[in-house]
């Protein structure tokens, strides 16, 4: 009797290494029950199958990181694997254990409550990527939740991950967005009226998903030997250039985390991004934007704005406080790493250096946004400070303002200088004569400063357009895409993905995606503030 032909597993390009689960201690309990997990860095757990997975979209750039082709991504096997319905033989799925400070308070064990890591691959370029499904079912860290995610949050994470990459902002990546075919019950407004929503799974990628909280939980529990084991693993895997782990290398490692985090904050400020949930468990040790929840871009320039309804009163995580909060979070990481170093002085120095890195980066960033060759503190600081006082006085679209500022002619009348900016304000009735006089004065000072640089206007505009995006993922655009997918129409997701691939370019046929927030979106759910509900 002849044997049936042997079939190879799909996606032979996925070479799994799984170093995290090979080299770090696992939770010895293998049942998927909610519990406190001690003396372990992770728990093995399998994704929960879904009833009718359907691919909504994939990122060809993220697929390329895994050496996957477009044909691979459009295959039925892809949908089955990246919805969690099928595991490849080499996968070793797990949920990580970590803790964190949430809104400034120690929350104890948190962990991957609705994220399941499929394993780590090493691609043809030798790069290491962890594959993670978000919304793939419960884990030991789910507490009272179901481990699932809804379409609205999943679509927002998928699009934003890739949008941030194309903006040049360090970020985790998103490979795919897949509908599960199963409803998920959520109380979107936390008002006691839960409703069923479509479920979805996002596959996201990162060199590692290790975060500040992975170290915090071990330090808080006094598991110092395991803390050192995780730190040594992290350095050898992600920071080998620092040398073999030792107290001196731990210090250099923390200093590098401080530097990359400062650079990330500068990028967020540059593009007007507000994370919304800067808890320590949402801070990557690689300085990546991680865990896209109730994020948003500034529509009108308001430094006190937060996209998170949970943060509406305290505004801890508002746009203008993000750099300060990152510093606070780094201090909590320093506390966690202290047992490995035994000396506060180098940790305190690294935290001071963070502030220096941020200030220097911020000055360079603002010079770029304004088209200056270099930031000259004596003259440019007052110019920038006055601008940042003017912008929030009336509703001014941040993205459009800086993009249009590049069009301001230098050798022109006051009215001509104002002309490119007339459409960036939301409420015409706020444009008083006194306010216009202040703007005219600022624009005259700005033109004089640019004239000192003596750049050709075309060069200055090109430099400004290279750092001031025209297209960002405004909340109302994401909501329109969610609405369309709810109707079974996926084309707007694809169109947005394509537009956001070129955020700094003029795309004459896509002007509708570069417009101010429409009035109907001012207070609509999903278009202004958002909750933490998945």
Instruction: Give one word for 238, left, alpha or beta, with left for phi > 0 and alpha for psi -120 to 50.
Output: alpha
Q: What is the DSSP letter of 145?
A: S
Whether 147 and 255 have beta carbons less than 8 Å apart is answered as: no
Concerning whether 302 is annotated as a catalytic residue, the answer is no
CA-to-CA dists, residue 303 to 270, 316, 322, 423, angstroms: 13, 12, 10, 21
The DSSP element (H or E) to which 388 belongs, if any, is: helix 377-390
List Cβ neighbours of 225 (8 Å cut-off, separation of 6 or more).
none
CA–CA separation, 199 vs 50, rounded Å?
A: 9
Q: In a 3-state reduction of DSSP, which class is residue 211?
A: strand
CA-to-CA dists, residue 386 to 78, 127, 329, 408, 496, angstroms: 53, 45, 30, 18, 35
Q: Are strands 54-58 and 99-102 parallel, antiparallel or unpaired?
A: unpaired
Matching residue, tokens 């770090």: 24
List Cβ neighbours of 411 (8 Å cut-off, separation of 6 or more).
447
27, 112, 281, 397: which one is catalytic? 281
Tokens matching residue 91: 């996968």
Whether 443 and 417 have beta carbons less than 8 Å apart is answered as: yes
List the Cα angle 91/95/96 in 5-degree steps: 120
The DSSP element (H or E) to which 131 belongs, if any, is: strand 128-134
Tokens matching residue 310: 């949970």
Helices and strands, counts by H and E, the chain: 17, 12
Whether 313 and 137 have beta carbons less than 8 Å apart is answered as: no
**Three-class SS string for 455-486?**
CCHHHHHHHHHCCCCCCCCCHHHHHHHHHHHH
Mind telling me the catalytic residues?
A: 281
């Amino acid at each position: 009797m002849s044997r049936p032909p042997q079939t190879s597993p799909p996606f032979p390009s996925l070479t799994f290494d799984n170093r995290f689960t090979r080299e770090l201690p696992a939770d010895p309990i293998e049942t998927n029950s909610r519990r406190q997990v001690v003396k372990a860095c992770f728990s093995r757990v399998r994704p929960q199958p879904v009833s009718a997975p359907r691919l909504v979209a994939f990122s060809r750039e993220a697929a390329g990181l895994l050496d996957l082709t477009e044909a691979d991504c459009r295959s039925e096997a892809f949908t089955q694997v990246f919805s969690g319905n099928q595991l490849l033989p080499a996968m070793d799925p797990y949920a990580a254990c970590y803790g964190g400070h949430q809104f400034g308070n120690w929350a104890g064990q948190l962990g991957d409550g609705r994220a399941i890591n499929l394993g780590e691959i090493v691609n043809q370029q030798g790069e290491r990527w962890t594959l993670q499904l978000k919304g793939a079912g419960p884990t030991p860290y789910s507490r009272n939740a179901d481990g699932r995610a809804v379409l609205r949050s999943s679509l927002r994470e998928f699009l934003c991950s890739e949008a941030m990459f194309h903006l040049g902002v360090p970020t985790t990546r998103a490979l795919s967005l897949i509908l599960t075919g199963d409803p998920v019950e959520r109380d979107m407004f936390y008002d006691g009226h839960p409703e069923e929503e479509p479920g979805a799974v996002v596959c996201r990628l990162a060199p590692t998903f290790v975060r500040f909280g992975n170290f915090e939980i071990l330090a808080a529990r006094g598991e110092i030997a395991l803390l050192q084991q995780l730190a040594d693993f992290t350095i050898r895997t992600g920071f080998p250039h620092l040398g073999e782990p030792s107290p001196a290398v731990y210090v250099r490692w923390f200093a590098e985390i401080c530097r990359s985090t400062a650079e990330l904050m500068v990028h967020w400020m540059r593009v007007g991004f507000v994370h919304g949930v800067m808890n320590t468990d949402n801070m990557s040790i690689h300085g990546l934007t991680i865990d896209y929840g109730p994020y948003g871009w500034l529509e009108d320039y308001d430094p006190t704005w937060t996209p998170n309804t949970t943060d509406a009163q305290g505004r801890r995580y508002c746009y203008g406080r993000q750099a300060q909060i990152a510093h606070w979070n780094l201090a909590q990481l320093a506390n966690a790493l202290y047992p490995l170093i035994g000396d506060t002085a180098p940790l305190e120095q690294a935290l001071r250096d963070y502030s220096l890195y941020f200030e220097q980066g911020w000055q360079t960033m603002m010079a770029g946004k304004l088209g200056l060759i270099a930031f000259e503190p004596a003259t440019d600081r007052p110019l920038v400070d006055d601008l940042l006082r003017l912008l929030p006085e009336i509703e001014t679209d941040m993205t459009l303002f800086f993009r249009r500022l590049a069009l301001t002619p230098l050798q022109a009348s006051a009215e001509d200088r104002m002309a490119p900016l007339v459409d960036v304000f939301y409420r015409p009735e706020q444009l008083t004569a006194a306010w216009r006089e202040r703007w005219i004065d600022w624009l005259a000072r700005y033109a004089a400063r640019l004239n000192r640089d003596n750049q050709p206007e075309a060069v200055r505009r090109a430099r400004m357009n290279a750092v001031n995006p025209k297209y960002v993922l405004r909340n109302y655009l994401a909501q329109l895409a969610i609405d369309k997918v709810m109707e079974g129409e996926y084309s707007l997701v694809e169109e947005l993905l394509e537009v956001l691939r070129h955020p700094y370019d003029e795309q004459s046929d896509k002007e509708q995606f570069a417009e101010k927030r429409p009035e109907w979106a001012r207070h609509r759910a999903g278009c202004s503030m958002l909750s933490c509900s998945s």
